[in-house]
């Protein structure tokens, strides 16, 4: 099975919506959706102190009562005691600071279908997704992926590999999905199988 992936985290760092390869340039105009203008909140500078810091770095290891200095959304220093005069200090006592989690397989566009399946076989998950996915507009795709993004961030997920298939793999659907994820500053990849699922 062949997959086409869209890598867009480098573009997000520069504040753009994402990159769509030429292979996804086909689509129908009825599914186009212009996302509302959304900007991330102003980034701050702060230091979290007195926290148990899990670095995932073999040289640094875990740091009990450690500190993490963050500037404009980027970690600039980690250690037992980090000096950053004049910045906001957040007491991390009895807290754990760890890297964001990575979800490697999530069909974010399915989020709006949650709870729609019934008890009968013909009303199960796959028949329900098959029945309703063809009716999804780009606006529906944006809303579903946006809801999934918020749920992911709430769970500590900051990088996502989002999967799509069938009609939802149209170029304008992909760009809609990229836009809704980038609106929250998530990093990730959107992949589409070469075959049609629905």
CATH number, domain with residue 109? 3.20.20.140
Region 41-58 average pLDDT: 90
Region 96-110 average pLDDT: 90
Q: Are residues 84 and 152 in the same domain?
A: no
Region 57-62 average pLDDT: 92
Domain that holds residue 83: 45-97
pTM above threshold 0.75? no
Strand partners, 47: 69, 89
Whole-angstrom distance, CA of residue 185 vs CA of residue 159:
9
Q: Are residues 17 and 65 in the same domain?
A: no
Beta carbons within 10 angstroms of residue 173's beta carbon = 28
Q: How many domains does the chain have?
A: 2
Region 33-59 average pLDDT: 80
Residue with tokens 């760009």: 175
Q: How confident is the model at residue 66 (pLDDT cuts 50, 70, 90)?
A: very high
Q: Is residue 8 part of a domain?
A: yes
- What does the pLDDT read at residue 6? 37
Region 6-14 average pLDDT: 32
Q: Are residues 22 and 114 in the same domain?
A: yes
* CB distance 188 to 181 below 8 Å: yes
Q: Is residue 104 part of a domain?
A: yes
174-183 pLDDT, tens digit per residue, is 667 777 777 7
Q: Are residues 23 and 65 in the same domain?
A: no
């Amino acid at each position: 099975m062949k997959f086409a992936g869209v890598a867009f985290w480098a573009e997000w760092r520069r504040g753009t919506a994402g990159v769509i390869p030429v292979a996804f340039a086909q689509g129908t105009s009825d599914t186009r959706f212009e996302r509302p203008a959304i900007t991330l909140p102003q980034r701050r500078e702060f230091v979290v102190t007195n926290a148990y810091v899990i670095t995932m770095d073999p040289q640094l290891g875990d740091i009990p009562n450690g500190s993490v200095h963050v500037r404009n959304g980027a970690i600039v220093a980690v250690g037992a005691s980090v000096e950053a005069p004049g910045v906001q200090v957040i007491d991390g006592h009895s807290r754990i600071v760890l890297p964001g989690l990575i979800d490697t397989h999530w069909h974010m566009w399915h989020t709006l279908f949650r709870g729609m399946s019934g008890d009968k076989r013909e009303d199960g998950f796959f028949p329900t997704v098959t029945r309703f996915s063809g009716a999804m507009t780009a606006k529906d795709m944006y809303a579903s992926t946006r809801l999934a993004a918020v749920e992911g961030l709430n769970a500590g997920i900051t990088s996502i590999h989002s999967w799509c298939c069938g009609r939802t793999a149209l170029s304008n659907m992909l760009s809609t999905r990229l836009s809704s994820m980038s609106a929250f500053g998530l990093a990730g990849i959107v992949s589409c199988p070469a075959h049609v699922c629905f």
